[in-house]
Amino acid sequence: MSSAMLTHSGCSLASRSYTRSLAPSPAQPAGRQLASFEGMRSVGAVHKCAQSPLRQQRRAAVRASRSTPAIEAKQFKVALLGAAGGIGQPLALLLKMNRLVGELALYDVANVVGVAADISHCNTPVKVTGYGKDDLSTALKGADLVVIPAGVPRKPGMTRDDLFNINAGIVKTLIEATSKDAPNAILNIISNPVNSTVPIAAEVLKAAGVYDKKKLMGVTTLDVVRANTFVAEAKGLDLKDVDVPVVGGHAGTTILPLLSQATPEVSFSEEDAAAMTDKIQNAGTIVVEAKAGTGSATLSMAYAAARMAESVLLGLDGNDDIWECAYVESSVTKLPYFASKVRLGPSGVEEVRGLGELNSVEQKGVDDLIPILEGNINKGVEFAKTPNNEKL
């Protein structure tokens, strides 16, 4: 594979390491916006193609970091909890190819040793170890970033709320362990329903006395990835140039793409904007139905989670101008948690941005989603505070 040439975004690329374009939304500061996740780039010569100034700036920074000898490069331990699942396996593979990862701890209750053995054969320097059901504490020790996709996937006819009774217990158990064995780690929560599992995690961390709002993030990156893809396709744009902020939550109508703030500026009729919003909100359901009971959006979620993890690691590495949308503790609305653009840096979430200027349809979307999201949040908080919840 190392000698194979792949064509992507108009460039001929050999597969090896990650790069990404940068396109800040007009409503956000002109920092480095990680707008797309291109996949793997050659460690050797890269064929040149037309790029935006921001893209060239980003690539220059990445090349500079990768020119640092491995012995001097700053690397981090990432613990992936739920590594043998549909999201976990492809996500583990992507993390194995990230230069900022020095150690990758794969944890699951079953089948994870084989996954670790398989991925460890990939010729990148990341150390990979598999940890089974009784080794969670060891997997977490020393982790800088803990990524949690653990839980059951959606099936046809299920909503994310239908997953609550199972996944809530799983997340609570994993966060309790993290609070003891990796209390200073940044947490990326993928397990659905994210609208509820993030408040569960926060309450568990508060009870343990180790809660830091800067270090707890619900991963909503897939909503942004989908929005960027669908808008680029609809308008005939180059994907590397497109950035659509997506705010609110991570389920159904709580997912609100701000099409009026897209970069580059795009125009939709009211009817087309409504159709595009619905497409983005229900994209996960389309995948579940297309897979006909065999799984959910595992591959695209792994891709989006790898992008978010890389952004977090870039922040930990000293970059303090990395922007992503994430579901975090927030004062943007009256709700305690809300997804919007956040600036990542060495401490995690360094800044939470407001919603910017909304059009009337988007404002109505925010108003309509708030009571739904509030119910999701309250459900998670109540679960976390109720003693003797079943731990699966």
Beta strands in 219-358 (DSSP E): 246-248, 255-257, 322-329, 337-345, 348-352
Q: Catalytic: which of 8, 47, 121, 250?
A: 250
The two three-digit tokens of residue 18, written as one number: 């990650």
Strand partners of residue 329:
337
- Sign for the CA dihedral angle at 2, 145, 77, 343 comes to positive
The two three-digit tokens of residue 359, written as one number: 């059009």
Distance CA 365, CA 259 (A): 12
Taking CA atoms, 347 is separated from 72, 133, 202, 275, in Å, by 21, 30, 17, 38
Q: Is there a catalytic annotation at residue 121? A: no
Amino acid at site 74: K
Tokens 């569960």 sit on residue: 200
The two three-digit tokens of residue 352, written as one number: 């939470």
359 contacts 367 by C-beta, under 8 angstroms: no
Q: What angle do CA 351, 354, 360 make, to 5 degrees?
A: 165
Q: What angle do CA 346, 347, 349 make, to 5 degrees?
A: 105
187 contacts 217 by C-beta, under 8 angstroms: yes
C-alpha dihedral (211, 143, 216, 392), degrees to nearest 10:
-90
Q: What angle do CA 256, 187, 344 make, to 5 degrees?
A: 65
Distance CA 345, CA 322 (A): 7
Tokens 């006909």 sit on residue: 292
Tokens 């990326």 sit on residue: 188
Q: What angle do CA 125, 128, 133 make, to 5 degrees?
A: 175
Residues labelled as active-site residues = 250
